[in-house]
Amino acid sequence: MICLASGDGYLRAHLAGAIETDIDWPNSGTRCEGESRRDPKGVRLSFSRPVGSNPDLLFVFGINDVAEGEAAHGLGVNLTIIVQGSSEIYGTLGDGRCSVDSLSQRRLGAPDTYRLEARGFCTQPAHAVRGEGALLVNRFDFAGTVSYARADDQI
């Protein structure tokens, strides 16, 4: 399992609160997927490691106002972190708690597919969706793939 065929995908983040850890996931062994969203307009990228990893987390970044192939900064991020194999889910429940400082995109070999790299931070924690607890991701950096191909554009 690799994130990007080019070998330069990754996820780095610092988590505090209900889970205390530094995430440093290299390209090898990391699964990343991304797609465009229509409503709200933007992209959604997910990052995970093989089942049974410690910690066994799934990160989902929903970044608003991202346009195909364009660089950006100061964008709102909706962040969801799922502890796989459990009922623990943490979410910012909107894009007002996290922000992307910088975002760049580079076209990959496939049409409508890009390497998206972003750096950002959260100023408030993601709260447990069920139960109690909170998780602050005070910084995150990642590079993954995003496809802008629309399902209704497929044959």
Q: Spell out the residues 6+ positions from residue 8 whose beta carbon is closer than 8 angstroms to its own.
A: 27, 115, 143
* Residue pair 33/48 in contact by the 8 Å Cβ criterion: no
- Look at residue 127 and tell me if it is in a domain: yes
End-to-end CA, the chain: 28
Full domain range(s) for residue 72: 10-145
- Report the pLDDT value the prediction gives residue 103, as an integer from 0 to 100: 98
Total number of domains in the chain: 1
Check whether 150 has a pLDDT greater than 80.
no
* Residue pair 18/46 in contact by the 8 Å Cβ criterion: no
- Look at residue 49 and tell me if it is in a domain: yes
Check whether 27 has a pLDDT greater than 60.
yes
Mean pLDDT of all residues belonging to the chain: 92
Confidence at 42, pLDDT banded by 50, 70, 90: very high
- Look at residue 52 and tell me if it is in a domain: yes
Angle 154-43-83 from CA coordinates, rounded to 5°: 110
- Look at residue 34 and tell me if it is in a domain: yes
| pLDDT tens figures, 46-100 | 999 987 778 899 999 999 999 999 999 999 999 999 999 889 999 999 999 999 9
CA distance 52 to 142: 22
- Look at residue 118 and tell me if it is in a domain: yes
- Look at residue 70 and tell me if it is in a domain: yes
The pTM for the full model equals 0.93
